[in-house]
Amino acid sequence: MSFYSIFIYFFGILSVVLGIMVITRKNAIHSAVYLIFCILSIAGLFFLLQAEFMGVIQIIVYAGGIMVIYVFTILLIKLEVVEGLKRKWEIKFLTALIFLALSAEIIYLLLKGKVPFLPEEHGIARGTVQAVGSSLLRDYLIPFEVASLLLLVAMIGAIMLSRKKV
């Protein structure tokens, strides 16, 4: 087993463990810190899969942008620990049913689908800014513009929602 495989398994197991920590903590700020490290380990996985631009974007936008929004939200608002599971048993049963059905479906697909191929030999680095940018501006120009419109609408919506007088 090469160093490359060891690092991929390391980051993968780390992201799963940190993801479990995110959804089991009582305090929201602890969850936020665990989520930051989970996102960083996923960014490491992206670097190992030769998607360098996506790894950098993951660190800058996720760990630096989105998580700052979450931490600000938690800090601006009175921190409060919500009690654990105190729902009715019908709702718990329905929750378990939905989760088990979805897990069974995904496990079935993973077992059924045959993915025998291994990566080909890559001579060149592929996930560079140049490759991603030229593909984005040549083949995906209209989705790119729609994404900018989506960000504009989200910005206006956030300002409208958080005004004092609605």
Partner 1 sequence: MVPLNHLLILGSVVFLIGILGVLIRRNIIIILMSIELILNGVNIILIAFSYYLNSIKGQIFALFIITVAVAEAALCFGLIVAFMRNKDTFDIDKMNIMKG
Taking CB under 8 A as the criterion, the residue among 90, 142, 151, 165 binding partner 1 is 151
Residues 69-88 that bind partner 1 (CB under 8 A): 69-70, 72-74, 76-78, 80, 82-85, 87
Taking CB under 8 A as the criterion, the residue among 102, 125, 129, 141 binding partner 1 is 102
Taking CB under 8 A as the criterion, the residue among 56, 93, 106, 125 binding partner 1 is 106
Assess 104 for contact with partner 1 (CB under 8 A): no
The interface mask with partner 1, positions 28-47, x = CB under 8 A, is x--xx--x--xx--x--xx-
Q: Tokens 């045959």 — which residue? A: 114
- C-beta atoms surrounding 59 within 10 Å: 18
Taking CB under 8 A as the criterion, the residue among 89, 112, 160, 165 binding partner 1 is 160
Closest CB 12 distance from partner 1, rounded Å: 4
Closest CB 16 distance from partner 1, rounded Å: 5
Assess 157 for contact with partner 1 (CB under 8 A): yes
Assess 130 for contact with partner 1 (CB under 8 A): no
DSSP string across the chain: --HHHHHHHHHHHHHHHHHHHHHH-SSHHHHHHHHHHHHHHHHHHHHHTT-HHHHHHIIIIIIIIIHHHHHHHHHHS---PPPS----HHHHHHHHHHHHHHHHHHHHHHHHS---PPPPPP-S--SSHHHHHHHHHHTSHHHHHHHHHHHHHHHHHHHHHTSS--
Assess 127 for contact with partner 1 (CB under 8 A): yes
